[in-house]
Amino acid sequence: MHVYDFLANKENRNHVAYAYLDVFTRPAVFTTQDAIVSWLMAQTISTTYNGKRYYLVGASRLGDIWLAKSNVVGRYDIRVDLEDCTNWLSGLNVAVDLHPPCPKETWSCDG
Protein backbone atom coordinates (compact mmCIF):
# COMPACT_ATOMS: atom_id res chain seq x y z
CA MET A 1 0.00 0.00 0.00
CA HIS A 2 1.32 3.44 -0.92
CA VAL A 3 1.83 5.72 2.09
CA TYR A 4 -0.49 8.34 0.58
CA ASP A 5 -3.25 5.73 0.21
CA PHE A 6 -2.77 4.82 3.87
CA LEU A 7 -3.02 8.49 4.89
CA ALA A 8 -6.07 9.12 2.70
CA ASN A 9 -8.04 6.33 4.38
CA LYS A 10 -9.94 7.90 7.32
CA GLU A 11 -10.03 4.55 9.10
CA ASN A 12 -6.25 4.78 9.61
CA ARG A 13 -6.32 8.05 11.57
CA ASN A 14 -6.04 6.19 14.88
CA HIS A 15 -3.14 4.02 13.68
CA VAL A 16 -0.03 4.55 15.82
CA ALA A 17 2.07 5.49 12.78
CA TYR A 18 -0.46 7.87 11.16
CA ALA A 19 0.77 11.21 12.57
CA TYR A 20 4.42 10.27 12.06
CA LEU A 21 3.91 9.26 8.44
CA ASP A 22 1.73 12.30 7.80
CA VAL A 23 4.47 14.66 8.99
CA PHE A 24 7.31 12.75 7.35
CA THR A 25 5.76 12.75 3.88
CA ARG A 26 5.22 16.50 3.80
CA PRO A 27 7.52 18.70 1.69
CA ALA A 28 10.94 19.30 3.26
CA VAL A 29 10.25 22.99 3.74
CA PHE A 30 7.75 22.00 6.44
CA THR A 31 9.61 19.08 8.00
CA THR A 32 13.01 20.73 8.46
CA GLN A 33 11.73 23.23 11.02
CA ASP A 34 13.28 22.70 14.46
CA ALA A 35 9.99 21.94 16.21
CA ILE A 36 9.03 19.30 13.64
CA VAL A 37 12.48 17.67 13.70
CA SER A 38 12.34 17.55 17.52
CA TRP A 39 8.88 16.00 17.42
CA LEU A 40 9.96 13.36 14.88
CA MET A 41 13.06 12.49 16.90
CA ALA A 42 11.00 12.16 20.09
CA GLN A 43 8.70 9.54 18.56
CA THR A 44 9.45 5.85 18.89
CA ILE A 45 7.36 3.76 16.55
CA SER A 46 8.26 0.15 16.00
CA THR A 47 6.85 -2.67 13.92
CA THR A 48 7.45 -6.27 13.01
CA TYR A 49 8.68 -7.07 9.51
CA ASN A 50 9.59 -10.63 8.45
CA GLY A 51 9.58 -11.73 12.09
CA LYS A 52 12.06 -9.05 13.23
CA ARG A 53 11.46 -5.86 15.18
CA TYR A 54 12.35 -2.54 13.49
CA TYR A 55 11.89 1.16 14.15
CA LEU A 56 9.96 3.31 11.72
CA VAL A 57 12.41 6.07 10.78
CA GLY A 58 10.89 7.59 7.67
CA ALA A 59 8.76 7.34 4.58
CA SER A 60 9.15 8.09 0.93
CA ARG A 61 6.78 9.99 -1.28
CA LEU A 62 7.35 7.02 -3.60
CA GLY A 63 5.15 5.06 -1.21
CA ASP A 64 7.45 2.88 0.88
CA ILE A 65 8.43 3.22 4.54
CA TRP A 66 11.91 3.13 6.04
CA LEU A 67 12.78 0.69 8.80
CA ALA A 68 15.94 0.54 10.89
CA LYS A 69 17.42 -1.56 13.67
CA SER A 70 18.17 1.64 15.63
CA ASN A 71 15.91 4.65 16.12
CA VAL A 72 17.73 7.32 14.09
CA VAL A 73 15.47 9.48 11.90
CA GLY A 74 16.48 9.38 8.24
CA ARG A 75 18.91 6.44 8.51
CA TYR A 76 17.33 3.19 7.44
CA ASP A 77 18.33 -0.42 6.89
CA ILE A 78 15.46 -1.45 4.61
CA ARG A 79 12.62 0.08 2.61
CA VAL A 80 9.39 -1.92 2.64
CA ASP A 81 5.70 -1.78 1.83
CA LEU A 82 3.53 -0.57 4.70
CA GLU A 83 1.18 -3.54 4.41
CA ASP A 84 4.03 -5.98 5.06
CA CYS A 85 4.40 -4.68 8.64
CA THR A 86 2.47 -5.82 11.72
CA ASN A 87 2.34 -5.34 15.48
CA TRP A 88 2.82 -1.56 15.58
CA LEU A 89 3.85 0.06 18.89
CA SER A 90 4.47 3.69 19.79
CA GLY A 91 6.14 5.57 22.61
CA LEU A 92 8.52 8.39 23.38
CA ASN A 93 12.25 8.34 22.73
CA VAL A 94 13.50 9.14 26.23
CA ALA A 95 17.01 9.78 24.89
CA VAL A 96 15.81 13.00 23.22
CA ASP A 97 15.71 16.17 25.34
CA LEU A 98 12.86 18.29 24.01
CA HIS A 99 13.78 21.13 26.36
CA PRO A 100 17.55 21.63 26.12
CA PRO A 101 19.22 23.99 28.59
CA CYS A 102 19.55 27.68 27.80
CA PRO A 103 22.58 28.67 25.70
CA LYS A 104 25.50 29.80 27.86
CA GLU A 105 25.98 32.82 25.62
CA THR A 106 22.65 34.36 26.62
CA TRP A 107 21.85 32.68 29.98
CA SER A 108 18.23 33.32 29.09
CA CYS A 109 15.51 31.12 27.72
CA ASP A 110 13.31 34.09 26.83
CA GLY A 111 14.75 34.34 23.34
> What whole-number percentage of the chain has pLDDT above 90?
26
Judge whether residue 96 has pLDDT over 50.
no
pLDDT band at residue 108, thresholds of 50, 70 and 90? very low
pTM score, whole prediction: 0.69
pLDDT in tens, 45-91: 889 999 999 999 888 878 899 999 987 766 899 999 999 999 998 87
pLDDT confidence of residue 111: 45
SS3 annotation, the chain: CCHHHHHHCHHHCCCCCHHHHHHHCCCHHHHCCHHHHHHHHHEEEEEEECCEEEEEEEECCCCCEEEECCCCCCCCCEEECHHHCEEEEEEECCCCCCCCCCCCCCCCCCC
By percentage, how much of the chain surpasses pLDDT 70?
Answer: 68
What integer is the mean pLDDT of 97-111? 47
